[in-house]
Amino acid sequence: MKTYKAFQVIEKEAKQFERKVVEMEKPKIESGQVLIKVHFSSINYKDFLSSIGNKGVTRNYPHVPGIDASGVVEESQSADFPPGTEVIVTGFDLGMNTDGGFGEYILTPQEWVVKKPDGLSLEEAMIYGTAGFTAAQCIEAILGNTDHEQLMSKEVVVTGASGGVGSLAVMILSHLGYSVHALSRKEGDFLKQCGAQAVASPSDWQAGLDEKKPLLQEQWSAGVDTVGGSILSDVLRTSGYRSTIACCGMVADIKLTSSVFPFILRGVKLYGIDSAMCPINLKKQIWDRLATNWKPQKLHDLKKVIGLDELEASLMLMKEGKSQGRIVLRHNI
């Protein structure tokens, strides 16, 4: 096959972008690179931003988004990844300024590639995708920095819980035996199916808090925050002694307003999570955990599988805030 199908974003004129499925020439492989036939990808918020021409994510167009990909090595200039190897690529520059998983092929440096663990299918790897990998990094930070008895003493809060990161954090934490309180603007049935013990809207929860006090009654043993802004500030004020809050998102606001009291009086730890440039050895470790004891039984309940011709509509659902769970792109293979 000399050409392949891809969902490409084209800049027709300044700030005017068109999205369509096109035929592209299969790239030529060079030293240290791996050419992967993509079986599955998934939709993330960065993909939406890239698809609408956000130059903070993607500088040059035409471009193929897709920051996640799983597939099989077709050609290789790397001894670590011979042809036929099942692999996962997430993060680094994939789908941002390097054509990504919304195409049937990707060409990447060998340093970006992880061998798929035996306990995962290629599809399951993309049900997780960057969202699940980010959720797992948050949980890794929580488990590594919070005493077990402390974790069991109170609920673990997950904000923005209906999104990809949030719903997977709820599911994995519940699977590991922790009591999860989900904060989400959307209906709670979906999150209870994911394993949440309780669900509340952020506005209702915040309405019961005293705005003037820098510290409030302890509610959480730990937390995964995907939204930032005032919600993260209030999570910090209500966190328990020596709790860990892992912060990985900013969909509500990039600003954080807090006193030092949660940190110096309760020993609260605010742990920042970055997935894109995560060291490859840590990536391998986390993917192994997602394939084994961290793998929820109901993982497939999160997915909706689509084809290339359905990408446009699915990206617009994300724009409207109507997306929940994980949308997995399956290429015709």
At residue 54, does pLDDT exceed 70? yes
**Across-strand partners of 246?**
224, 271
Query: What pLDDT is attached to residue 1?
Result: 64
Percentage of the residues of the chain whose pLDDT score is greater than 70? 100
**Residue whose entry in the numeric block shows the structure tokens 């009291």:** 261
Phi, psi angle pair for 7, to nearest 5°: -90, 110
Give me the CATH code for the 132-272 domain, please: 3.40.50.720
Query: What pLDDT is attached to residue 317?
Result: 85
- 43 close to 329: Cβ distance less than 8 angstroms: yes
Average pLDDT value for the chain: 94
Domain spans, the chain: 3-116+298-330, 132-272
Cβ atoms within 10 Å of 204's Cβ, excluding its own: 10
pLDDT level of residue 2 (50, 70, 90 thresholds): confident
**Across-strand partners of 328?**
42, 305
Model pTM? 0.93
Three-state secondary structure string covering 233-299: HHHHHCEEEEEEEEECCCCCECCCCCCCHHHHCCCCEEEECCCCCCCHHHHHHHHHHHHCCCCCCCH
pLDDT per residue as tens digits for the range 171-218: 999 999 999 999 998 877 999 999 999 999 999 999 999 989 999 999
**Residue whose entry in the numeric block shows the structure tokens 């409030």:** 216
Superfamily name with CATH number, domain 3-116+298-330: Medium-chain alcohol dehydrogenases, catalytic domain (3.90.180.10)
CA 168 to chain centre: 9
At residue 282, does pLDDT exceed 80? yes
- CA separation for the pair 161, 119 (Å, rounded): 26
